[in-house]
Structure 1
Amino acid sequence: MAQPKPNTRIRLEIVHEDASIVVVNKSPGVVTEPGKSHRDDSLLNALIARFGGKMLQMGERRDYGLLHRLDRQTSGCVASALNHDAYDAVRAQFEARTVDKRYLAIVRGRMHTGTQSVELNLEEQRVATSEGTRLISVVARAGKPARTDINVLATSTTHTIIECTPHSGRLHQIRVHLAHLGFPLEGDPIYTVGARVLPATKAKERTLALHAWKLSFDHPAGGRVDATAPISRKFHEALRSAAIAWTP
């Protein structure tokens, strides 16, 4: 990744900030880091505009402080480090799968109340689209282990809002697991019932009803970082469209 340029035009909503760590609430539709089609309008460009040299001095090897990523159409908590030591300490927690991540998801269909765990191996595959190729995940016996815990929060006659806790960080893990159960994410243009893959282009993607709600991990200086990202206007609209009476 080339050194990101600062961009003050990207909205930045900070939900936690201290001398070492910042957690922001990423808006749906914003990419996490610069890429081929988004060279200077990513969340990282906005972070560089706000924190400048603190993040740039970590360089490409430490992703300029960025600790993890969300899909473009997913909103919610994204954490970054503001110095080398903080990056190394927190990144180790992400790699060890000890970071507590809680997502809100609106799915099509009415799920039974209660909790359940989905454990299905996932394998990445590259498929052709009208815009080139893209990576997807498929359920495969030879894939990597993946577990997602599900807690039903509320239902309507046609939809359900759930809290999802992924215990592994596979590509599109929550989306594939839910679709495999027969409850695809509202707004998902790729995975449908049974985790079948639909032909789609990135340009046609809508906002996913998926929100990285809570993020918790050990702070390098001691104690815990417990960040919560308020749901977006589009997520509120999805709740209303699904006729689900629920508030965080």
Structure 2
Amino acid sequence: MPGHPGSRDSAESTPRVQWLEVAPEWAGQRLDNFLMGRFRGVPKSVIYRVIRKGAVRANRKRVKPDYRIAPGDSIRVPPMYEPAARPERAQPGRRVQRRMQAAVVHEAPDYLVVDKPAGIAVHGGSGVDFGLIETLRAARDDRYLELVHRLDRDTSGLILVARRRSALKALQDQFRRKSTHKVYRVLVVGEWPRGVDRVEAPLQRVTGGAGERLVRVSTDHGKAARTDFRALERFPGYTLLEATPLTGRTHQIRVHTAVQGCPVAGDEKYLDRASQSAWQRGGGDRLMLHAHQLAFETPEGEKVTFEAPVPEDFGAQIQRLRQRQ
């Protein structure tokens, strides 16, 4: 199966056995993860079974699933076929590819900075055929593209994509150490309490009655979460905030605003029905959360900061509130 970003068939290939040469950008990855990325339709159990039996070899030697592949490694892989009945996943069309290409605001050898539109998932799955990362892979010639972090589907703004495996590790380490800096623009329903500039409330992920993913405050089982807030502009019934998460929990800003009695406008998960209906009647049609600023250190050690202004639909809602005022 030639053409996969990260490996290429050698001259020794036969119709039944593949010899994959490891490209430099995949160095350091576990063998099992490398094969699962290479053969996405093959069940994990099959991949682990052929490794355990010794049918997969690195440089003609038996290896274990946790073997770290190196540049130039020759990986022998026995025939592994995706199930014939497996439906082929839809591919992103030219229009969405062009849209995502246009969303790239900065391109460096090690990473891309993308201004993700609202309504686009960062990756496929759970009823979504493809997301930002699959679309970028289809649109570009890059041999390696992986998400460094995530944004909710309905959140717009800056997201970081690694172009080398070494860069992915270096950048993700910064997010784990909380040494990156992220700033959001967020419009909330209600009047933000004066004097509240930090919310500290532990968060726990739970499953709702319909099976959807939710987050709640839990002092017993939640993980520590802190967000700094600053009121930027007040309107009748709404407040525009600057939010700086000091931790990176799922739905952190959305839940931390909700526990203050000021859920994010347009938030179908945490906004009550009456407020959501009022928002929609006034013309609101999106989640009013935007990743405005992202600062980090490049793999070369340079400190950089990127900003993305609020998109047109977000700005139009703010302008509408100003006119009402």
- Per the normalisation by structure 1, the TM-score is 0.82
Report whether the alignment pairs 1:128 with 2:214: no
Partner Cα separation in structure 1 for residue 93 and residue 170 of structure 2:
28
C-alpha separation between the residues in 2 aligned to 1:244 and 1:110?
A: 18
Structure showing greater Rg: 2
In terms of mean alpha carbon deviation, does 170-179 or 154-163 score higher? 154-163
Amino acid at match of 2:126: K
What secondary structure is seen at the aligned counterpart in 1 of 2:212? strand
State the aligned residue count.
223
Asked which structure has the greater RCO (Cα within 8 Å, sep 6+), the reply is: 1
Two-structure CA RMSD over aligned residues (Å): 2.4
1:54 correspondence with 2:151? no
| Alignment partner, residue 95 of structure 2 | 9
Indicate the percent of aligned positions where both proteins have the same amino acid: 33
Partner residue in 2 for 1:27: 117
Displacement of 1:75 after TM fit?
0.2
Which residue, out of 231, 235, 248, partners 2:314?
Answer: 235
Are the aligned partners of 1:178 and 1:184 in contact in 2 as well (CA < 8 Å)? Answer: yes
CA contact (8 A) 2:142 2:163 kept: no
Aligned partner letter, 1:151? R
What's the offset of the Cα at 1:135? Answer: 1.3
Distance in 2 (CA, whole Å) between partners of 1:240 and 1:18 is 35
Q: TM-score, normalised by structure 2?
A: 0.64
Where 1:73 maps in the other structure, the secondary structure is coil
CA contact (8 A) 1:74 1:210 kept: yes
Question: Cα 1:114–1:219, aligned 2, differ >3 Å: closer, same or farther?
Answer: farther
* Cα distance in 1, alignment partners of residues 251 and 323 from structure 2: 24
1:140 equivalent to 2:230? Answer no
Q: 1:165 aligns with which of 244, 258, 262?
A: 244
Q: Deviations over 1:179-217 (max 9, x none)?
A: 100111110111137xxxx9xxxxxxx521000011110
Instruction: State the Cα distance separating 1:7 from its structure 2 match.
Output: 4.8
Unpaired segments ≥5 residues, structure 2: 1-36, 42-88, 277-284
Counterparts of 1:191-210 in structure 2 under 5 Å?
191-192=270-271, 207-210=286-289
Change (3 A) 1:152 1:144: same
Is residue 15–residue 25 contact of structure 1 (8 Å, CA) maintained in 2?
yes
Corresponding residue of 1:65: 146
Unaligned residue ranges in structure 1 (runs of 5+): 56-63, 199-205
Deviations 1:43-83 (A, max 9, x none): 1122113433432xxxxxxxx41111111110000100111
Q: 1:80 to 1:45 in 2, by over 3 A?
A: same
Is 1:111 aligned to residue 192 of structure 2?
yes
